[in-house]
Structure 1
Amino acid sequence: MAATPPPPPVTGVEIVKGEGLVAQQQFERGALILTEDPLVMCDTGKGFSTWDKEAGAFYQEQHEYSKSILWKAFNNLELFDQGVFNTLYTTKRKASKLEYVVDAFRHNGFQFGFRNVNNAHVILYRFICAAYHSCIPNATVMINEFAPDETLHPGQARLVATREIPAGSPIVIDYIPKLWKEDSAARQQALMARWGFDCNCEGCKPAKAVMDASERSICRTYHEKGLRLSAAELRLYIGFMSKLGKWDKDLSRLCLRLAHDHETRDEYREAMHIAQSGLLVEQHFYLKCHYGELSRICADCFLEDRNLQAEYRETERAARIFLE
């Protein structure tokens, strides 16, 4: 029987649906909240690039005992882990056990593709799956994308704070990260189709929806402009992404571009602080994207401007301030 894992620095409470996660302590922007190995991980046999189109058919196929790979995955769990699985949120509490299992996977699962592996996987976590949704999340889930033959912890996830989280506050993630640049109507439609609820987060409230849509529209425009962004546009784009809780390789890439722009103009203090911001974003990535180049900029700026030595210990604080 699997050993009981140590409790993370969060606690379960009732938040609209599911158990929810609430911070027991304050977390700074970029802080690691918890690291968690999968409760169960299942190869769907479907292509990751076509998963969005095939997901509905996949889950429909799982309602036959003889063909259901999700049912087999559940039955392969240790008894303790089956008990944990049974605590996951589902709309099928009074259905058959098979329906319950399939719905628990559908409702709670993270769809993920390993590096150099074509198939989509569905992964469930004991604690992270309890996090509720917000279109302006204060945390993000980073999943180890290295294939099982490349790492000791395939599918392991890190829950990382994307904004400051005061003690006692809910920890919320974005269920539809691919749609982060879309307006509230598009996000609501996706949430209702997949999970059956209307979002009432800050970005979806009528009083904030117009401003929220405007900011996301600017992000779409800047995304389409790509390499043609000016330094002022880069700074604004970074600010909007950070405000909206978007914390990924695109954000660190933008930090790298802006830091490099300041470095070429011999603005070493600004360049180092922005590079530090990019490093803060990437510090808990399983697969580093721009870490080496960001580190180089920091080192070069430090060497070029000796006055930065006195500020060296303050750079992490400055990085968090830049992303606010």
Structure 2
Amino acid sequence: MTIPVFYSISDDFTKYAAVSLNSLVKNASPQNDYTVTFLNQDLSEKHQKQLAAFANDYVHVKFFHIDEKLVKPIQNRKENYLRADFFTMSIFYRLFIPDLFPQYDKAIYIDSDTVVVDDIAKLYNNDLDNKLFAACTDSSIQYVDKMVKYIKEVLALDPKKYINSGMLVLNSKAFRDEHFIDHFMHLLEQYHFDCIAPDQDYLNEIGDGRILHLDPRWDAMPNENTEPISKPGLIHYNLFFKPWHFKDVQYDAYFWKYASSTPFYEELKGELDNYTDQERAEDRAKLDHMLEKEASTALDPNNWAQVKRKGERVKL
């Protein structure tokens, strides 16, 4: 039996994904078997070869091209912008994993802006029972008042249970048996919900009440309001504060440890050195821009809270 791990990747994110993959391989156990698959639409042959080079006897690296027809209903609309900033189809790929890979009844998904500090098999071994998926509460938003208000009033969910979708253990069999994708597509096409975090909001809404909340060490995120977790299992450089753009980011030593043994190390160091204070200020300002959506979505007669009040079945 293999442990299936999936990434969603665009070509320009290869160098960061390489660091994550390197960390996963370095902490994988030879007693297990792992298959890592990169879901993509535009990954160059050169980058595929560079990522495939991290494979060994027990960690296999594969690539899967996402057909445009599959994701065509997910349009480049402002409602689907990541962080209210730009459109990227790759954030939605994770939702299709159970249907695209029916040979797996359970699978792990992780974002590319991560490092894996422990054996990812430990994450896979969580018993999902009848839960749709396992994830960690989104610690990055707990001190952001507008985001907490958005979750309470627009999503009508508990912020303490609102998960981050950058790390998921998917109950793939339940996704298929309960037609998750059909339900997702129905909600998407019927309501075009205006979301701050599109794929993440849909997962929280559809999975409400059926999410296994994991130890936060499995999605440790840099946070200026909290102390770092002492023994993280997986670190997720969420939102805008990336160690290749900001110096002294929480957990940055882990990133550079694994980056140093990739072919992208010098390029990544150069990116950090050349990133300007103005660009960093603009990144911080993007958080405010993202949160501007809270006010407009609260007034939307077809927001999540209003649709649920009208009796629409949202959660599975």
TM over 0.5: no
TM-score, normalised to structure 2's length?
0.29
- Larger RCO (CA under 8 A, 6+ residues apart): 2
